Structure 1
Amino acid sequence: MFLRKVEGPRSVTLPDGTKMTRSDLPPATTRRWVASRKIAVVRGVLYGLIPLTDAKKIYGLSDEEFNSWVSAFAEHGKEGLKATSLKKHRQL
């Protein structure tokens, strides 16, 4: 089996005991951001799988956009990252 050489860890263990690898991250060509893809990027950065600078460069994210994902996920969980519930959570 061939493993491509990458900087940093190949996998990390999340608090619930599951393993997250680089293959769990969305592709770099992602343009449609659903909640599950946002969560994958947030978890990847927060648990050290990928550095924030790399995530911003790969996915074309701004600091403000990434920080809004982190705060929405922290406050409301997966539901907070869904575009359909964004308006509801902002009104609270």
Structure 2
Amino acid sequence: MMDSVVDLASRVMTEADLPPPDTKRWVMRRKAEVVAGVRCGLISLEEACRRYTLSVEEFLSWQRLIDSHGVRGLRATRLQDYRQGEKVTLAE
């Protein structure tokens, strides 16, 4: 793993910018830091999921919310608002 990489905001991002592995409370900023870390190659998706006990689906949902609604889309109180617009299909 690289010691530092340049993130999308053109600033150097290091492991110190990532949330601690024992994070229990996932606020918008921490979720966004993990997504940015994976996107810029600081940490792999697999390592992020292992380190933070996330499912791939959970991580990908954070990434989709950022892409669709910006970092504010990660607010737990807003998830229901954003999901109301999504079509849900159940497998038979």
TM-score (norm 2): 0.88
Q: Is 1:18 matched with 2:11?
A: yes
Distance 2:8 2:52 in 1: 25
- 2:8 and 2:51 mapped to 1: Cα distance? 25
Q: Distance in 2 between matches of 1:13 and 1:56?
A: 21
Q: Distance in 2 between matches of 1:15 and 1:87?
A: 28
Which runs of no fewer than 5 residues in structure 1 stay unpaired? Answer: 1-7
Secondary structure of residue in 2 paired with 1:49: coil
Displaced runs of 4 or more, over 4 A: none
Paired with 2:3 and 2:50, the residues of 1 have a C-alpha distance of 19
Task: Provide the C-alpha distance between the structure 2 equivalents of 1:85 and 1:48, rounded to a whole number of angstroms.
Answer: 28
Identity rate of aligned residues, in percent? Answer: 47
Secondary structure in structure 1 of the residue aligned to 2:70: helix
1:43-80 superposed Cα distances (whole Å, 9 cap, x missing partner): 00111000111111110000110110010011001111
Flag structure 2 segments of 5+ consecutive residues without an equivalent.
Answer: 86-92
Cα RMSD over matched residues?
0.8
Query: Equivalences for 1:22-41 in 2 at 5 Å?
Result: 22-41=15-34
Letter in 2 for 1:15: L
Q: How many residues align?
A: 85
Distance 2:5 2:63 in 1: 18
